[in-house]
Structure 1
Amino acid sequence: MLLSEVIKYPILTEKTYGLMEKGIYTFAVSPKTHKIEIKKAVEFIFNVKVEKVSIINIDKKPKRVGRFNGFTNSVKKAYVYLAQGNSINLFPQDPSVEQELKTKEVEAESAKTKKASDAEKRAAEKIAAKNIKSTKANTSASTPKIRVRKVADK
């Protein structure tokens, strides 16, 4: 089995957080793997020294959702004991990721300010158009129009 397929995901609960402080990490693993494969996979993926591995098979449990009966999934857990001084960072803070987040925030802020400035420009154009209309109405009211009627001959 490929080493990348051995470990499915880390199990993160209150109990496992307490164990992480002691150097014990918990992973859900493929049901077909054994201790030696798990040890090799953890050492290869995380570049740490593993002392021992304990495995627990958790069977499926019957569950009921409304009127439907079913089962939860069965899981194979692996408790990985690391050598003294080794640790696994399950929540890496990559500087490039942080930088990407900052650039996205800056772009979002610039987009907001651009939208605001566009809205201000549109509002100013509307006000200017209203002022032009009102000045036309005022000038036409001050100068009366003279209408000449044509009288038909009888």
Structure 2
Amino acid sequence: MPYKATIESTLRNFQYKYIHRIIATNKYLFKCKLSNSNLCDFCSENIETIEHLFGECKHIQPIWNQLISFLEQHQLNVKLSFLNVSFGINSMVILMKYFILNMKYKKQVPNFNCFVHSLKLKIQIEKEIALSNDTLQIFEQKMESD
């Protein structure tokens, strides 16, 4: 499934790690003595698990809600359950999860405006890849169905 949602190898690799639960959260890093705390880098209140980092954290829930509103404004009604988010219903969801992880690494709380900027950049990258591979029509079909 990650190979249909995006052509960018970084996002494919990330989605593979996410699906197979091999993203190093603070819970795991603390257990391995590679982190000083098992708490979430964003809220510092709960143990950082994959579920917490990508969905339950009080700093993450608002950007998922903003994504839902954004999709609804563009007539794309999608229910974002943990299952849908986990298995990447489309490239936008994969990008949101990747964005969250990058913000964790940068020690910054994610915000939706930064995500939208990142989304536009990724769309431009995928379009340029499609142009260079002579697959622009496939790219445009994907943009319509995503």
Give yes or no for TM over 0.5: no
TM normalised by structure 1 equals 0.23
Higher relative contact order (CA 8 A, sep 6+): 2
Give the structure with the higher percent helix: 2
More strand by share: 1
Look at both structures and tell me which one has the larger radius of gyration over its CA atoms.
1
